[in-house]
Amino acid sequence: MSECLLRPNSFASYGSLNNLQEEAEAAANDSEALAAPAAAPGFAIADEKMRRRLKYFFMTPCEKYQAKGRLPWKLLLQLAKVVFVTAQLYVFGIETSSQVAFMDSTRAAFRRLYLQGWDAGWESPIATHGPFAVYTYDTMYAVLDTALRGYNQTQSALGSFDLPNATANGQQPEPQFCVSYYRNLSVDAANFQFQLDNRATKRCFSMRPIQLENGTLAYNSKQLLQENNFTLNFDNVLMASLQFNINAIHFNFDAPRLTNAECFQFSVSIRFDNQAHAGQVLVGLTANPSTKACNAQSRQESIKSMGYSSVKEALYTVLDSSVMLVCALSFLSCGRSLYRGFKMRVRTLEYFLQTEDYRLSLDEQFEFVNLWFVLIMLNDLLTVVGSIQKILIEYKVGNNDNYITCGLFLGGGAMLVWLGTLRYLNYFAKYNVLLLTIKRSLPDIIRFLVCAVVLFLSFSLFGWITFGPYHAKFRGFFITLECLFALVNGDDIFNTFAMLPQDTTNTYIYVVSRIYLYSFISLFIYIVLNVCISIIIEAYETVTQQQQQQQQQQQQQHHLHHSWSDTGDEQQHRPEIL
C-alpha cells in the first residue's frame, strides 16, 4: 500500500496528512450535518469535520483500506465484471466467427455456381482481373442462362443447399428477372444524336424453363423475354437483376453454441449495373440471409437431432445472468458514488460560502464529479443491452439474428470495461505513467493535429482531383484518405509509386505524381510524425520528473513524521495544512 498516491487535488490535502486512520474513522462515523458556525469553538469543530470529510472523500481505495481496513469492494466488483464480460465476449466471438465464415463461404459457393467465368481472382478485396463485367449481348444472355441453369441444378452443389419448397400449386418458385429502364431513349451515336425521356420504369418476368423436343428442360433467357414482348436494349437499361431464394443449413459442431445447426434462407440477387452507360455492365452477386426455424416434430427430437446440450444451456444462462447481475450492481454502486459526490459538492459549496464567503469555481466543483464512474455506467448499459440481444439470438426469440448490432454493444461494453480498470491503476505511481502522459500531452496534441489535418486534407484533395482518373488508390476522396494514411504509416509505398502511369502520353501526370508523393512522404513521415512524437516524449519526461519530486517530498514528510514521533514533539511542531 506504500505506492498509493494522494490525489493531486486542492481538496485532497484539506486537513492533516498525519493521523490518517484517526481522521478517516472520525469522518466515517460522523453523520451529522454541518451547522453554520456561530462562535469560535463551534467554528473550529465544524472546520475539523469538513477537513475530515474532504480528506476521506478524496482518499483512494488503498488509503481507505489503510485507514480503516475497508475492503475495496467496488474494485473487486469491477474485476469480477472484467472476468465475466471477457468470458461472454469470447463465447460470442467464436459464435460470430463461425457464422461469418459460413456466410462468406456460402456466398463464394454461390458465385461459383451461378456466375459464368467467376474465379478466385475476383474474390480478393482488390480484384486482380479488374471488375467482373459483361461487354456484349451474347455474353449477357450467356451469363443469365448460366445462372438459371445453376439455380435449377442447386441440388448438385456440395453444400447443404436446396430450392425452397413447392408452392401451393405444386410448382417450384421461379426466378424473377427485373429490368429498370428509361421509357424512351433512342441513340444515334454515328451522328451524335439522341432522344431521351428520363422517366424510368421497371418490369419483372418469371424465368421459366423451356421444354426441348427431346423432353429435357433448358433456359433461353432471350427467347423468354421475346415471348413477353421485351428486348434488352442497354442503351436505355439502367439496372437488371435476377432474383431467387436458396435454403441452406449451417452445421457447426465445433463452435460452443447451444445448437449444432441453423437454418437460413438466402435471397440471392445477380445484378447487372449499366448506370454508367459506358459499354461495361458490372455484374455482382449478393446473398442476404434470414434465419428460419429448423423443422422438427417435437422439441425433444429437435434437441436430439441438433445436438442441443442442457448442460451447455445452463452454463450459458448462468454466464449471461451473471454478467447482467454484476453490471447492474456496478451501475448502482457507481450511481450511488456520483450521488454522494454531488451531495459532498453541495455541502462543501455551502460551507465555504458561510465560513469564508468564497464561492467555489466550476473547476473546483467539477472535482467532486468522477468521470470514471460515468464511463463505468456507460459500459454497464452497453453490456446489459448486448447480453439481452445475445440471449434472444441464442434462443431464437423473434427471429432475432442481428449479430452486428449485438457485437457492437458487447464489443463496446467490453472495451469500456477494460478501460475502466485503468482508474485503479492510476492510484499507483509505477503504473499510471501512460495515463498521466496522455493527459499531459493531449491539449498540445490536439492543437498540433489541427495543423496536421489541414495539411493532410490539402494533399488529399489535390491527389484525388489530379490522380483520380489514373490511379485506383485515388479513385474516390475517402479512398484517397485511406491511401495517404497508409503511406504515413509506411504501408505499400512502392506499389503506390508503381501504379501511377508511366507512359509518354501522361508525362505531366507522371512527373507531378513523383513530386507529390515524395513531398507528402517526406513531410509527414520525417517532420509531422517526429514532431508529434517529440510532444509526447516531452510530456512523458515532465510526468516522470514530477513523480520523482513527489516521491522525494513523501520521503521527507515520512522522515520528519518519524523524527517528531521520536522526540515526542509531533503535536507541537507539526504544521497545519489548509
CB distance 111 to 285 below 8 Å:
yes
122 and 44 belong to one structural domain? no
Whether 55 and 129 share a structural domain: no
Domain range for residue 547?
433-567
Q: Backbone dihedral region of 374: left (phi > 0), alpha (psi from -120 to 50 degrees) or beta?
A: alpha
Helix (H, G, I), strand (E, B) or coil at 61: helix
517-525: average pLDDT: 92
Is pLDDT larger for residue 84 or for residue 436?
A: 84
Same domain, 2 and 63: yes
Distance CA 226, CA 219 (A): 13
Closest by Cα among 6, 10, 14 to 64: 6
Q: Name the range with the highest mean pLDDT among 123-132, 150-159, 247-256.
A: 150-159
Domain assignment present for residue 517? The answer is yes
Q: Is residue 361 part of a domain?
A: no
The verdict on 121 and 66 lying in the same domain is: no
The answer to whether the beta carbons of residues 265 and 247 sit under 8 Å apart is yes
Residue 135 and residue 61 share a domain: no
- pLDDT for 462 beyond 90: yes
CATH of the domain at 498: 1.10.287
240 pLDDT tier (thresholds 50, 70, 90)? very high
Cα–Cα distance, 92 to 86 (Å, whole number): 10
Burial label, 187 (beta-carbon count in 10 A; 0-12, 13-18, 19+): middle
Contact 176, 243 (CB under 8 A): yes
- Of 307, 331, 357, the position where a domain reaches its end is 307
Do 555 and 463 fall into the same domain?
yes
- pLDDT confidence of 465, banded at 50, 70, 90? very high
* Cα pseudo-dihedral 41, 46, 51, 53, rounded to 10: 150
- Lowest-pLDDT range of 28-32, 414-418, 419-423, 555-559: 28-32
274 pLDDT above the threshold of 60? yes
pLDDT (tens digit per residue) in 489-504: 888 888 888 887 666 4
* 137 within some domain: yes
d(CA 159, CA 249): 9
Residues 473 and 551 placed together within one structural domain of the fold:
yes
Ranked by mean pLDDT, which of 51-55, 164-168, 276-280, 548-552 comes out on top? 276-280
Q: Do 147 and 204 touch, CB atoms closer than 8 A? A: no
3-state secondary structure 24-53: HHHHHHCCCCCCCCCCHHHHHHHHHHHHHH
Supply φ then ψ for residue 311, to 5 degrees.
-65, -45
Q: Are residues 303 and 207 in the same domain?
A: yes
Residues 142 and 208 in one domain: yes
Alpha-carbon Rg for the chain, nearest whole angstrom, is 35
> What are 291-332's pLDDT values in tens digits?
887 775 444 444 444 444 567 777 888 888 899 999 999 999
Q: Which of 241, 275, 307 is the last residue of a domain?
A: 307
| Cα 289 from Cα 268, distance rounded (Å) | 9
| C-beta of residue 86 within 8 angstroms of C-beta of residue 58 | no
Is residue 286 one of the residues assigned to a domain? yes
In a domain, 76, yes or no: no
Query: E strands along 149-236, which residues?
Result: 161-162, 176-188, 193-206, 210-211, 217-218
Identify the domain boundary among 307, 332, 366: 307
Does residue 268 sit within a domain? yes
Q: Where are the alpha helices (DSSP H) in 306-432?
A: 310-355, 362-366, 371-394, 403-420, 422-425
CA 243 distance to own-chain centroid: 32
Kindly state whether residues 281 and 167 are assigned to the same domain.
yes
Percent of residues, the chain, with pLDDT higher than 70: 79
Q: Does 10 have pLDDT greater than 60?
A: no
Residue 65 and residue 133 in one domain: no
Reference 217, options 152, 297, 311; nearest CA is: 152
| 154 and 229, same domain (yes or no) | yes
Residue type, 416: L
Q: Are 2 and 65 in contact (CB under 8 A)?
A: no
**Confidence at 3, pLDDT banded by 50, 70, 90:** very low
CB atoms within 10 A of CB 331: 19
> Residue 463 is which amino acid?
G
* DSSP SS3 for 176: strand
Report how far apart, in Å, the C-alpha atoms of 123 and of each of 102, 436, 485, 495, 503 are: 15, 46, 25, 20, 30
DSSP three-state, residue 253 = coil
How much is the pLDDT for 262?
79
Is 437 within 8 Å of 539 (Cβ atoms)?
Answer: yes
H helices present in 183-309, as ranges: 221-227, 299-305
Residue 502 cell numbers, joined: 508511366
Q: Would you state the pLDDT for residue 45?
A: 65
Contacts of 540 (CB under 8 A, 6+ apart): 433, 437, 441
C-alpha 194/C-alpha 176 separation (Å) is: 31
Residue 376 lies in a domain: no
For the ranges 36-40, 532-536, 572-576, the one whose mean pLDDT is highest: 532-536
Mean pLDDT calculated for residue range 11-18: 42
pLDDT, position 531: 93
What is the tally of structural domains in the chain? 3
**Predicted confidence (pLDDT) at residue 16 exceeds the cutoff of 50:** no
Cell numbers for 331, please give them. Answer: 451501475
Q: Which residues contact 490 (CB under 8 A, 6 or more apart)?
A: 525
Q: Is position 358 within any domain? A: no
Tell me what the mean pLDDT of segment 13-29 comes to. Answer: 44
Contact of 434 with 423, CB cutoff 8 Å: no
Q: Give Cβ neighbours of residue 404 (< 8 Å, ≥ 6 apart).
A: none
Mean pLDDT of the chain: 78
Number of H helices, E strands in the chain: 18, 9
